Chains A and B, each alone.
Chain A
Amino acid sequence: MDMAAVELTKAESLKPIPFGTGYKLIGKDYPTNDLVAKVTGKAKYAEDFRGEGMLFCRLVLSPMPHARVKRINTEKALAMPGVKGILTPADVPGLADYINDNGTRIKADKWGELALAAEPMYQGEPILAVAAVDELTCAEAIEKIDIEMEPLPFNTDPLDSLRPGSANARMDGNIWVQAKPPRGQAELTVLKWTDEDFAAEKEGKLPMGHAPDEWSYGDVDAGFRNAALVLDETFSTEDVSHQCLEPRTAMAHWQNGKLFLYTGTQSTFQTVSAIARWMHMNEEDVVFISEYTGGGFGSKITGALTLVIPALLSKKLNAPVMMRISREEEHFIGRARPGIRARTKVGFDKDGRITALDMFLVSDAGSYGSNGDGGACGQITSLLYQPPAMRWRNVTVVTNTPPRSAQSAPGGMQAIAIIEPILSKAARKLGVDQVALRRVNCPEGKAEYGPPSHGGKRPYATSCFLKQALDEGAKQFNWSERAARQPKQVGTRVRGVGVALSTYHGGTIGFDGLIIITPQGRVQIQSGAGNLGTEALIDVHRAAAEVLDVPWEACDIVWGDTSKHFPYTCASGGSQTIHALTRAGHAVALECVRRLKEVAAKSLGGQPADYEVANLRVSQKGGGVGMSFAEAAQHAIKLGGIYDGHDVNPQVNKATKKAVAALAGQGLVASAKDNYPHDGDSFSYVACFAEVEADLETGKYQITDYLAYADVGTVIHPAALGGQVLGRSTLGMAHAIGQKWVIDPHYGVTVAERFYQNRPPTILDVPVDMKWNALNIPDPETPVGARGIGEPPVGGGCAAITNALADALGDNIFQRVPVNADTILTSYEAGRPMQNPLLAHI
């Protein structure tokens, strides 16, 4: 009997649990510690810091999509009063090899991006920076600089790049071949398909030439042979910018050989090593300050490479330098989700169960670095719809367009956007209810996914209760009634409902926690995550406080400044934080309890086991002697050694050891590593439901209702979770309703670079009253039971909308997202999708 079947029996009986059941802090709402500063304007983001004699710097961006900078004449600019210095590509150090946490040397990427480019690979790439007393002087100086450039061949459309004879985006290649396990880096090479390969284009289908990346499992051919219905669909997703509201502005100054750097980040802890690597410095000489970050979504995992510009200028000019990034600059350097063109063949049996799935992807890598979106697209498809047989092929194409990076649910979002419309179409063709079709394909328990790994076994999830979320969500949304409602059209208005499954990775393991019980009796928790608004930075420590059984008011969270010393911490990206750091927090809280008992026993007599910790005291069980946390901290300092950080828990990471050493003597200093068992890979899941109303005469539609029902394990902080569930759902919706890039391929130049051209959703573009809910069933593979939520709703947020649109308008409207008035108006009249899914950036 396989494991999934065992889980299934157990899982079927599981029901939603009221938030906070059995806990004092976990599952309860509370105002996070950073909130008052935010709402009074006191919260300081990078651009809010000032330095004595601070200079400003501004960038010069490449006007060409691919060129070589031949000559820069800065003479007139430097002669201007107020101009202090100019940074050119020659001043920026190359990429260095680095040693990772396992001690492995990672070779510098020879195709890697630098802060200033001598051979810009996309229009908008920074090539020069000017520092002056103010921005007006910077601007006037920049206009006095002459730059001669040699235009080089370019290509902005990934499919064009695969055509015979087409230009390559880079001089030495046009595609990335993914890293081969066990370790390796993606390699650049040249791939061209043949004219015969491109024949499919004439039928509006994605051509399928050679694809270098491939895996499969099961008998795909047999799956199609035995199918009652086989669909072969071409579908494209758009490149979508992260568009964090805070641009990646950075400020730097130097003091006694140390670099002080201020910028937004998704990990205060991990950005230090990135800065050190980019600057060729020792980590000890970098102080990184990032108290508040105005959005990241994957684009600020370790700050941004451009931060070296003010750092280098500041060093050169011996003054603080503020590099404000404008919205237009942010469009170019601010990263984006790669668009994917997909052709997917799916076989279904008569009940809608998938029999086989064959996925072929062309992913756009942009100008720098391969990305994992194509790979994740295959993995997530495999997990979420559980095809018994699947083949995945992928080609990752380099284009002369702005660099991509992970964006909330990288690859997963595209997978769901691509597959869900096929499921919807199949349900209609087979006469199966949309929820029912998803139910038969829904993962469950320790669901397997992807191809077998080296050991021959397929990886699997820690747990999955998506079926329960789907059922509960369908109930709350009144799915059956809504789906059966008639009429669907009144006058020129049609309405439709859609459901979509959604998932993404929900956590990592193996990080450290660090807590100090101070002589004042405070519980000081060192938090090295980034503060980008998910509140995970603070929420995770509710788990530690719960284990320590202390009131939240006794806890102080220290964050945002690496001179305050943080433990080895994950980046707040990929929905890791809640999972990884509740584990680490749980571990360090238990360590704290253990040390408190030992301190009490050593000072008051008896065995540690005779003591218990509660209400900020450690006391003998049954009401004997005891001491307050304050007293225990004072005793710990007297005892020294492991108790006050002069010795350190040998299990923790070397970075944590350094932090402990720096904090030694300040109280009872406890550190611990998350060593908890973890069978499987953590994912979170969401069932998404939407209703839309479209006007056939204008092509305008409005999302009128939305519900996301989440399976995220234990709910830690309901309000913050709700914000994430709906916020990231809306991030997904944005892909359906409007966000896009527009690039003129003839010049290789972006024409839509402002919000009013790229169209991030406004408050009036989403339902006025969105709903969310969560099962609150703990994940059995993690001590607190909590998994992450940032990524999992994104794909479903997009696909629930497109599915509702297809319900309203039929299956012949769109083959790409976003779907807008133009898509609907032209296609509805023609009775077939009129927008070419293969053209990029329209």
Chain B
Amino acid sequence: MAVIRDVMPAFDLLQPASAADAQKLLETYREDAWVMAGGMDSFDWLKDRIKKPKVLVDLSGVDELKGIRSTGDGVEIGAMTTLTEIANHPEIKKNYGLLSDAVERVASPQIRNQGTLGGNVSQDARCWYYRAGWPCYRAGGNECYADTPVGRNREHAIFGADRCVAVHPSDSAPALIALDAKFVIHNSKGEHVVDAEDFFVGPDIDITRLNMLNPGDLLTAIRIPSTWSGAKFYFEKVRDRNVWDFPLMNVASAMKLSGGNIDEMRIAVNAVAPRPLRLKAVEAAVRGKPADATTGEMAGKLAVQGAVPLQFNAYKIPLMRNLVKRAIGGVQETSWTS
């Protein structure tokens, strides 16, 4: 079979108008169905003709999955809410600015107009070997092509590698973990709700996917509790180009302070491991300490303990150390006097 790209394979297009109908379709078609939210990840797989689903379930017509609602104890964001809407939403900006900061830095304006929160957290890895169709572990094979003596792995993992060294590419995921968000999943057994960090799956659990969604599962909403509303937030994304690029790394944190000391903190980083990493050791170590550069430095060093660099990604160790440091101690304002 010779290979050709950039022609989408034919599929049956199913366009449910309700979440229940979508749910039923996913149950019916299971492995044969491809769920499409905004499509920004899906189209690459389809146009590369690596994935050829029998049916495509397009969620864009399911209005009940769209929109942001106050719940009294936080907000609920429909999985099909666009990143642009989240970035501009007054309540999110005011109380959960960490998330608006994060989604504002995703890709490009057009992609944010189309890309959804559900899609952003459910997207697949961007390892260039895996995405080009190499028969690697993640694709069901028995090899990692990135982790060889000459493999090109500048953008790959320094933590959590288990045969696969791909990283999770989402910008919103660490912010949602830091905000202690809950993911609402529907399937034939009904609704169940998981903590953000538990939604993501490393290769040690299942090497062929990045999250816990099974065929038939539908991510319907993400709930952000008011626990961290108005906390001191920090989000930073480091990427090569200022538009389009996935993160070389990002960090998201939420801190509650009293008198300059850290009462409580949640912090997560992404693009360092096959799943977004919540840094629990850091969270514990900084409790009660001043939110300053010294604590930040200590935390940064702690965060990178156990990191295993590949040939071309050793820079991720100082980068992670520094991003964690900045999340705690902040960044000095640059004001050139001349």
Question: What residues on B are CB-neighbors of A829 within 8 Å?
Answer: 318
Residue on B nearest A144 in the bound complex, by CB = B1
Question: What residues on B are CB-neighbors of A825 within 8 Å?
Answer: 315, 318-319
**Contact of A765 with B334 in the complex, beta carbons under 8 Å:** no
Q: Digit string of B319-337 for contact with A (CB within 8 Å is 1, else 0)? A: 1001101100001111110
* CB proximity of B133 to chain A, nearest CB, Å: 10
**Contact of A699 with B331 in the complex, beta carbons under 8 Å:** no
- Residue B189 is within 8 A (CB to CB) of chain A in the complex: no
**Contact of A756 with B244 in the complex, beta carbons under 8 Å:** yes
**Contact of A147 with B154 in the complex, beta carbons under 8 Å:** no
Which residue of A142, A491, A823 contacts B4 across the interface (Cβ within 8 Å)?
A142
**Contact of A698 with B236 in the complex, beta carbons under 8 Å:** yes
Q: Digit string of A812-831 for contact with B (CB within 8 Å is 1, else 0)? A: 00000000111101100100
**Contact of B7 with A138 in the complex, beta carbons under 8 Å:** yes
Q: Which of B293-326 contact A (CB under 8 A)?
A: 312-315, 318-319, 322-323, 325-326
Question: What residues on A are CB-neighbors of B338 within 8 Å?
Answer: 481, 485
**Contact of A759 with B331 in the complex, beta carbons under 8 Å:** no
- Residue B73 is within 8 A (CB to CB) of chain A in the complex: no
Residue on B nearest A822 in the bound complex, by CB = B315
**Contact of B242 with A764 in the complex, beta carbons under 8 Å:** yes
Question: What residues on A are CB-neighbors of B323 within 8 Å?
Answer: 697-698
Question: What residues on A are CB-neighbors of B148 within 8 Å?
Answer: 746
* CB proximity of B111 to chain A, nearest CB, Å: 11
Question: What residues on A are CB-neighbors of B243 within 8 Å?
Answer: 762-765
**Contact of A490 with B336 in the complex, beta carbons under 8 Å:** yes
Which residue of B4, B245, B326 contacts A139 across the interface (Cβ within 8 Å)?
B4
Q: Digit string of A738-761 for contact with B (CB within 8 Å is 1, else 0)? A: 100011111100011101110101
Question: What residues on B are CB-neighbors of A693 within 8 Å?
Answer: 334
Q: Which of A47-70 contact B (CB under 8 A)?
A: 58-61, 63
**Contact of A742 with B240 in the complex, beta carbons under 8 Å:** no
User: What is the predominant secondary structure among interface residues of chain B facing chain A?
Assistant: loop
Which residue of A326, A492, A744, A764 contacts B5 across the interface (Cβ within 8 Å)?
A326
**Contact of A699 with B319 in the complex, beta carbons under 8 Å:** yes
What's the tally of chain B residues with a CB closer than 8 Å to chain A?
A: 47
Residue on B nearest A747 in the bound complex, by CB = B145
Taking A744-B145, A764-B242 as contacts, is the C-beta distance between A826 and B318 under 8 angstroms?
A: yes
Residue on B nearest A744 in the bound complex, by CB = B152
Which residue of B4, B150, B244, B332 contacts A746 across the interface (Cβ within 8 Å)?
B150
* CB proximity of A774 to chain B, nearest CB, Å: 29
Which residue of B152, B238, B244, B333 contacts A751 across the interface (Cβ within 8 Å)?
B152
**Contact of B246 with A63 in the complex, beta carbons under 8 Å:** no
**Contact of B128 with A751 in the complex, beta carbons under 8 Å:** yes
- Residue B6 is within 8 A (CB to CB) of chain A in the complex: yes
- Residue A227 is within 8 A (CB to CB) of chain B in the complex: no
**Contact of A755 with B244 in the complex, beta carbons under 8 Å:** yes
**Contact of B132 with A751 in the complex, beta carbons under 8 Å:** yes
**Contact of A698 with B319 in the complex, beta carbons under 8 Å:** yes
Measured in the bound complex, the distance between the Cα atoms of B152 and A491 in whole Å is: 34
* CB proximity of A230 to chain B, nearest CB, Å: 32
Question: What residues on A are CB-neighbors of B312 within 8 Å?
Answer: 822, 842
Taking A146-B2, A744-B151 as contacts, is the C-beta distance between A491 and B332 under 8 angstroms?
A: yes
**Contact of B325 with A697 in the complex, beta carbons under 8 Å:** yes
Taking A744-B150, A759-B240 as contacts, is the C-beta distance between A491 and B5 under 8 angstroms?
A: no
- Residue A328 is within 8 A (CB to CB) of chain B in the complex: yes
Measured in the bound complex, the distance between the Cα atoms of B7 and A142 in whole Å is: 11
Question: What residues on A are CB-neighbors of B325 within 8 Å?
Answer: 697
Measured in the bound complex, the distance between the Cα atoms of B312 and A834 in whole Å is: 10
**Contact of A752 with B322 in the complex, beta carbons under 8 Å:** no
Taking A745-B150, A826-B314 as contacts, is the C-beta distance between A135 and B7 under 8 angstroms?
A: yes
**Contact of B334 with A490 in the complex, beta carbons under 8 Å:** yes
Which residue of A135, A136, A490, A742 contacts B128 across the interface (Cβ within 8 Å)?
A742
- Residue A784 is within 8 A (CB to CB) of chain B in the complex: no
Question: What residues on A are CB-neighbors of B129 within 8 Å?
Answer: 744, 751
**Which residue among B132, B148, B236 has the maximum number of chain A CB atoms within 10 Å of its CB?**
B132
Measured in the bound complex, the distance between the Cα atoms of B9 and A58 in whole Å is: 15
**Contact of A821 with B238 in the complex, beta carbons under 8 Å:** yes
- Residue A28 is within 8 A (CB to CB) of chain B in the complex: no
Q: Digit string of A20-42 for contact with B (CB within 8 Å is 1, else 0)? A: 00000000000000000000000
Taking A826-B315, A826-B318 as contacts, is the C-beta distance between A491 and B1 under 8 angstroms?
A: no
Residue on B nearest A746 in the bound complex, by CB = B150
- Residue A253 is within 8 A (CB to CB) of chain B in the complex: no
* CB proximity of A389 to chain B, nearest CB, Å: 40
Taking A490-B336, A762-B244 as contacts, is the C-beta distance between A145 and B314 under 8 angstroms?
A: no
**Contact of A145 with B1 in the complex, beta carbons under 8 Å:** yes
Question: What residues on B are CB-neighbors of A744 within 8 Å?
Answer: 129, 145, 150-152
**Contact of A139 with B128 in the complex, beta carbons under 8 Å:** no
**Which residue among A143, A328, A764 has the maximum number of chain B CB atoms within 10 Å of its CB?**
A143
**Contact of B242 with A58 in the complex, beta carbons under 8 Å:** no
With A491-B331, A762-B242 given, can you name 20 additional A-B contacts, CB distance below 8 Å?
Answer: A136-B8, A143-B2, A146-B1, A146-B2, A326-B5, A329-B5, A693-B334, A698-B319, A699-B319, A738-B241, A742-B152, A747-B145, A759-B245, A762-B241, A762-B243, A764-B242, A764-B243, A822-B313, A825-B319, A841-B152
* Contacts A/B (CB < 8 Å), 11 sampled: A58-B7, A63-B3, A146-B2, A490-B336, A744-B152, A745-B150, A753-B132, A759-B240, A759-B241, A821-B238, A825-B318
B residues whose Cβ falls under 8 Å from a Cβ of A: 1-10, 49, 128-129, 132, 145, 148, 150-152, 154, 236, 238, 240-246, 248, 312-315, 318-319, 322-323, 325-326, 331-336, 338
The 10 closest A-B pairs by CB, nearest first: A491-B332, A139-B7, A764-B242, A697-B322, A822-B315, A326-B6, A762-B243, A751-B128, A142-B4, A825-B315
